[in-house]
Amino acid sequence: MSAASSLTYGSYLHIPELLDCQKPLSGRHDEMLFIILHQTMELWMKQVLFEIDAAQEMIARGELVPAYKGLARVSRIQAVMTQAWDILATMTPADYLGFRNVLGTSSGFQSAQFRTLEYRLGLKDASFLKYQEAGSAEQRAMGHALNEPSIYDGTLAQLARAGFAIPREVLDRPRDQAYVPNEAVEAAWIAVYRDTDKHWALYQLAEKLLDLDDALLTWRSRHVLTIERIIGMKPGTGGTAGVAYLQKTLSRRCFPELWSMRTKL
Ligand code: HEM
């Protein structure tokens, strides 16, 4: 019998192992949903990172059109992740308070994949590294994404390759630093959007990237609103001010000039 013919649904997908990963600590009914929502989001983040890695490689090779497919998939996954907040909204403050004490200081704030995703999209902030165990695989993955070019860095290199005057300080910027919006970059995007027929590939790429930024902000907004429903203005388990902190994250833009240039068109 070949290996393939002995394969079953459960063995191929490692279903027993997957279904053994939910370990509620409180014995309260709602903790299972809390765990499964986090775990499914982590799985979707894994797929999103996988697609973004592939898209970044294509963009680096100048293959913009093939990159669209993966980026379109990412924004569909993000839409599913946002919809998941509707399920969380069925959890009342009383339900959550029933098991909040077992969570200690753990929080989504410490999600290494979420920070890796932020880094990949260009939201570089090295201060999040300290929330991972020193030398752990999670910290290494984050460190790698922090020090590598983001998808936006790769896109700006393509703008330069297409003949736009992108300054050297932008193209050679320190990868681990927060991106600083630049007027020449904004001017290049304005030119792309003013003559879409001529710059179709870059224009399409810009819209696909904006889809990702838009979807991330939508995900953040629904998270903070749902959280306010559950914990009000109380501090978070991760040690931040809670809703007040999360509201501030709504101003984070991965591709700032793709937003700012719209006013000037
Ligand atoms: C009852 C459910 C939830 C509550 C009360 C909650 C609350 C919070 C709070 C208060 C923060 C701010 C950091 C802190 O002080 O803890 C936070 C951050 C975060 N949460 Fe949630 N959360 C919940 C569910 C989820 C789920 C299901 C996910 C999915 C992975 C998630 C992902 C995140 C992420 C990624 C952050 C960091 C956001 C940032 O810093 O930009 N949360 N959460």
Q: How far is the CA of 81 from the centre of ligand 1 (A)?
A: 13
Taking the chain (265 residues) in runs of 10, the rounded mean pLDDT of each run is 83 98 98 98 98 98 97 98 98 98 97 98 98 98 98 98 98 98 98 98 98 98 98 97 98 98 97
Query: What is the extent of the structural domain holding 187?
Result: 25-109+150-264
| 123 part of a folded domain | no
| 249 part of a folded domain | yes
Q: Which residues line ligand 1 (CB under 6 A)?
A: 34, 37-38, 41, 88, 91, 96, 107-109, 111, 114, 223, 227, 230-231, 236-240, 242, 245-246, 249
Distance from C-alpha of 68 to C-alpha of 49, rounded to nearest angstrom: 15
- Judge residue 245's burial from the number of C-beta atoms within 10 Å of its C-beta, 0-12 exposed, 13-18 middle, 19 or more buried: middle
Distance from C-alpha of 181 to C-alpha of 189, rounded to nearest angstrom: 12
C-alpha distances (whole Å) from 85 to each of 32, 117, 224 are: 15, 19, 10
Q: How far is the CA of 131 from the centre of ligand 1 (A)?
A: 14
Count the domains in the chain.
1
pLDDT at 142: 98
C-alpha distances (whole Å) from 204 to each of 67, 192, 198, 199 are: 10, 10, 12, 9
pLDDT at 4: 74
Closest ligand 1 atom to 45 CA:
30
| 117 part of a folded domain | no
| 189 part of a folded domain | yes
| 210 part of a folded domain | yes
CATH number of the domain that residue 257 is part of: 1.20.58.480
- What does the block give as tokens for 84? 């998941």
pLDDT at 1: 55
Distance from C-alpha of 156 to C-alpha of 173, rounded to nearest angstrom: 11
Q: How far is the CA of 242 from the centre of ligand 1 (A)?
A: 8
pLDDT at 2: 66
Are 194 and 262 in contact, with CB atoms under 8 Å apart? no
Distance from C-alpha of 188 to C-alpha of 166, rounded to nearest angstrom: 8
**pLDDT tens digits for range 168-195:** 999 999 999 999 999 999 999 999 999 9
| 128 part of a folded domain | no
| 129 part of a folded domain | no
